[in-house]
A and B are shown apart, each in its own frame.
Chain A
Amino acid sequence: MTTTTLARENTRENTTSVSLFGVAGAILTALVLLYFSGFAEAAKYHDSAHDTRHTLAFPCH
């Protein structure tokens, strides 16, 4: 096996398999971020993100 074929095979492998860990991790991270920025009712989070919640039309108050 030569250097070039190995590199090509690696690239192909990277682009054809779903990374379940990556997909689930990214979505979970996003949900945590959205919870604190858009939904958490504690005054600390609500007040900090107040204008953003209104601008981005999250249900607020």
Chain B
Amino acid sequence: MTMRIFANGLFAGIIAGILVVLLQYLLTEPLILEAEEYESGAKVHFAGLAEPGVMHDHGANAAADAPAAPEEGEESVAARFSLAFAADFVVYVAWGLILSALISVAVAKGHKISLQTGLLWGLAGFVAVHIAPGVGLAPELPGIPAADLNARQLWWIGTVLAAAAAMGLFAFAQNPVGIAVGIALLVIPHVIGAPHLAQLAGLAPPSLAGEYVARSYAVAMAGWSLLGLATGWLWSRPADPAPVPVPVEDR
């Protein structure tokens, strides 16, 4: 069982990771690179009104950030993409391991896993990891100033955990109290409120940021759907397809 949790999570994560890499390359990378042209000042939205470079303060990391400035060659872009794509696999293998671990508990409790239920698990993951925190902290282009990083990370983690618990209650609690607690878990983080700056700002045009949010959700929904399908498929296969017959002598 332990090996199966790891093997299924790893395999499903790699399958979903391939799709996410492809979609990131086609959909979000072009917008990230374009946003960095506004961030670096190569392009200026409302030319003359914005001051390039002031919105994206990384403190000590400033020099090391934005690894592919426009003057850098194709080689560094290739290196940047390969690192980003490797990170996609790391993230999706991690989600695959968590999904696989949780599904193993459901299987042990007698719940049937199929492609269809796997897809539901994946969509629940998409809601918990993207929709729930995204309502408070929308996916952001580089160059958009935001509140304190640690505060946002803490809020994000709490919101994802609460939403994941809510998904579990919706799926498995067979009573109104469980459903009510689930709804409360979804709502409470937004009553507390995500950390935000008092004023909105940003160097990239709002239309670019809007396009980016839509594409980021598309990538995430595709990735989580495939992750759920793959995990469901792997867990629906027989646990031990070819048991080695052990000769046992009758005594």
Q: Could you tell me which A residues sit within 8 Å of B by CB distance?
A: 1-3, 6-7, 10-11, 14-19, 21-23, 25-27, 29-31, 33-34, 36-39, 41, 43, 46-61
Q: Could you tell me which B residues sit within 8 Å of A by CB distance?
A: 1-6, 9, 20, 24, 28-29, 32, 56, 58, 60-61, 64-65, 67, 80-81, 83-88, 90-91, 93-95, 97-98, 100-102, 104-105, 107-110, 130, 133-134, 137-142, 146, 149, 152-153, 156, 216, 219-220, 239-240, 243, 245-248, 250
Contact A37 B87 (CB under 8 A): yes
Contact B67 A59 (CB under 8 A): no
A50 to B64, CA, bound (A): 11
Closest to B85 in A: A52
Contact A52 B84 (CB under 8 A): yes
Say what secondary structure dominates the interface of chain A.
helix
**Residues in B whose Cβ lies below 8 Å from that of A15:** 107-108, 239
Given contacts A33-B93, A54-B32, contact A61 B84 (CB under 8 A): no
Given contacts A51-B29, A54-B142, contact A26 B6 (CB under 8 A): yes
**Residues in B whose Cβ lies below 8 Å from that of A38:** 91
**Residues in B whose Cβ lies below 8 Å from that of A26:** 5-6, 9, 97-98, 100-101
| Number of inter-chain CB pairs below 8 Å | 179
Contact A39 B153 (CB under 8 A): yes
Contact A23 B250 (CB under 8 A): no
Contact B220 A7 (CB under 8 A): no
Given contacts A3-B247, A38-B91, A46-B61, contact A54 B239 (CB under 8 A): no
Q: Which 9 A-B pairs have the closest CB atoms?
A: A22-B2, A19-B1, A57-B139, A52-B87, A33-B94, A49-B87, A51-B84, A59-B152, A30-B94
A10 to B100, CA, bound (A): 21
Contact A7 B243 (CB under 8 A): yes
**Residues in B whose Cβ lies below 8 Å from that of A34:** 91, 94
The 8 Å CB contact of B83, one of A10, A22, A49, is A49
Closest to A59 in B: B152
Contact A23 B5 (CB under 8 A): yes
Given contacts A48-B87, A57-B216, contact A17 B108 (CB under 8 A): yes
